[in-house]
Structure 1
Amino acid sequence: MLSNVRIVLVQTFHPGNIGQAARAMKTMGLVDLVLVNPRCFPDPEATRLAAGAEDLIESARVVGSLKEAVNDCVQVVGASARLRSLPLPHFDEPDEMAKEITEHALDAPVALVFGRERSGLTNDEIGHCTHQVSIPANPDYGILNLAQAVQVLAYEVNRTWRRRPESGYHPTRPTGEKLPSREQLDHFHAHLGRVMQASGFLTQPHARTEAQLQALFARAQPTRRELSLLRGLLSALEPKTHSPDNDQA
């Protein structure tokens, strides 16, 4: 689906903004970049500021008109900081736009269109769009640069896609950042109980202390690495006469 979401930049003045927009796209899994009459492209500044997204710069297509850029798209959303007089459907929130555009992108190309750095899209260019979208911002200073606007809308598209069952998305964590198994937690609580007993901290009037501490660690949700650190601390505090068991951290 993400490969069907096209980013179209119209008459970009600074080539560095093209590179930064490409970087914003790649972080969100978008790969289709089309440039309408850029002032200067290709350009070393665009490649330099792509910072790892040089492949998008190399594969970017340059066309002569917005019509040519979006001719095959079933939905074209123009990013605009202000409402125009044209009677186009308008998304007040980017997430609303993302829900609709990802639905259409399952079957056909769609486009997000961004205008010039200083003046945005003209009314004629908005006329080639099917919808408009605005990014809510500080009413006293709502200015986003081109790459920032691309990043915000690309993020919303990516987030909406991740939440769809067919995306197959599963967050990955380093092994140490994974949550411990039930068995590992049981070993930790048994270890903690031994140390509390040996230290004299756990006495009959505090019979609920272990249960309360278990609840505390359940809320804290320590990772495997953090649990291993706690086990190391407990081992250091244990009386030296205690024979360590063979359980695992």
Structure 2
Amino acid sequence: MLENIRIVLVQTFHPGNIGASARAMKTMGLNQLTLVNPRQFPDEEASRLAAGAEDVVDNARVVTTLEEAITDCVQVVGASARLRNMPLPHYDEPDDMARDIVSFASDAPVALVFGRERFGLTNEEIRCCTHQVSIPANPDYGILNLSQAVQVLAYEVFRAWRHRPDSNFKTAAPRSTPLPTQQQVTQFHDHLHRVMQDIGFLTQPHARTGDHMHALFTRAQPTRKELSILRGFLNSIEQKAGPSRCVDAGVNGDAPKK
């Protein structure tokens, strides 16, 4: 199960923080590290500060976009201060997040996403996530180093996994209702946005209707089957609007069969 839990670091500035984060991960049984546009990597400082977790650093996957890092994940949790203007589900307590992410990881990849050392994740990057999580801290000085934040959340994840009543350090049973990947979810939202534009529903851009619809379906967390039904519903609307605009109703985004 822990193999399905991915730590994603976005545009890390100091290579030493990559090594220290790898060390924090390995102490909690995590080894899936993905780096999005690191400023400097590979680097001797990253290997030096890994201090026994060099294998995590050496096997790190490097990608150019956050979307590429999480495309196959069914849950993506962004670590950040709570943003009231982002209507995503938010975990106020890391242990609540950890229990959920361990449950989802029983049969599909999930991700914990950490932003830059100085200013974290951008609003656009948080929109790529399904949830947010914050680490409770001293309100007068709530500043954590990147690797410290990784350590705290990695510990909560390991603790939740270790205390699962059905795990006993073993792989839990797969979920009976698999969730869609982020690639499939993105295809659905693109389809929904296109249909809303085509039927003239998006008449007030300032209302952020698209953002609210995105948040609605994120909270609902439809299964793959439910997402397929929604795609079929959108496809039917497009057929009424004009056959040339039809797309496949499945969740894989394939071209329609003739």
User: Could you state the TM-score of these two structures normalised by the residue count of structure 2?
Assistant: 0.65
CA distance in 2, matches of 1:66, 1:84: 22
Query: 1:78·1:133 contact (CA, 8 Å) conserved in 2?
Result: yes
| Amino acid paired to 1:38 | P
Q: Deviations over 1:54-92 (max 9, x none)?
A: 000000000000000000000000000232412100000
* 2-structure distance, mates of 1:167, 1:65: 34
What does residue 21 of structure 1 align with? 21
| Residue 156 of structure 2 is aligned to residue 156 of structure 1 | yes
Match in the other structure for 1:240: none
Give secondary structure in 2 for the equivalent of 1:165.
coil
For residues 212-231 of structure 1, what are the structure 2 equivalents within 5 Å?
none
**Map of 1:100-249 to 2, 5 A cutoff?**
100-169=100-169
What corresponds to 2:92 in structure 1? Answer: 92
Q: What one-letter code is carried by the residue in structure 2 that aligns with 1:154?
A: A
Alignment correspondent of 2:30: 30
Distance 1:109 1:117 in 2: 25
> Paired residue for 1:43?
43
Partner of 1:63: 63
CA distance 1:133–1:167, shift in 2 (3 Å): same
Q: Deviations over 1:97-155 (max 9, x none)?
A: 00111100001000000000000000000010000000000000000000000000000
Give me the identity figure in percent.
76
Aligned partner of residue 167 in structure 1, secondary structure: coil
Question: Is this contact kept in 1: 2:19–2:47, CA < 8 A?
Answer: yes
Aligned position for 2:227? none
Q: Structure 2 stretches of 5 or more lacking a match? A: 171-258
| Contact 2:2–2:29, Cα closer than 8 Å, also in 1 | yes
1:19–1:84 distance in 2 versus 1, CA, 3 Å: farther
Paired with 1:70 and 1:85, the residues of 2 have a C-alpha distance of: 23
- The answer to whether the Cα contact below 8 Å between 1:20 and 1:147 also exists between their aligned partners in 2 is yes
1:84–1:123 CA contact under 8 A, matched in 2: no
Taking only aligned residues, the RMSD between alpha carbons, in angstroms, comes to: 1.1
Aligned counterparts of 1:50 and 1:166: Cα–Cα separation in 2: 32
The answer for the alignment partner of 1:54 in structure 2 is: 54
What are the equivalent positions in structure 2 for 1:5-20 lying under 5 Å apart?
Answer: 5-20=5-20
d(CA) in 1 for partners of 2:101, 2:92: 14
Name 1:76's counterpart in structure 2. 76
Bigger Rg, which one: 1
Residues 82 and 133 in structure 2, CA contact (< 8 A), matched pair in contact too: no
* Contact persistence 2:82–2:132 (CA under 8 A): no
Aligned residues: 170
Of 78-87 and 108-117, the range deviating more from structure 2: 78-87
What's the secondary structure of 1:116's corresponding residue? coil
2:82–2:90: 8 Å Cα contact kept in structure 1? no
TM-score calculated relative to the size of structure 1:
0.67
1:76 partner SS: strand
What letter matches 2:33 in structure 1?
Answer: L
What is aligned with 2:228? none
Moved beyond 6 Å, runs of 4+: none
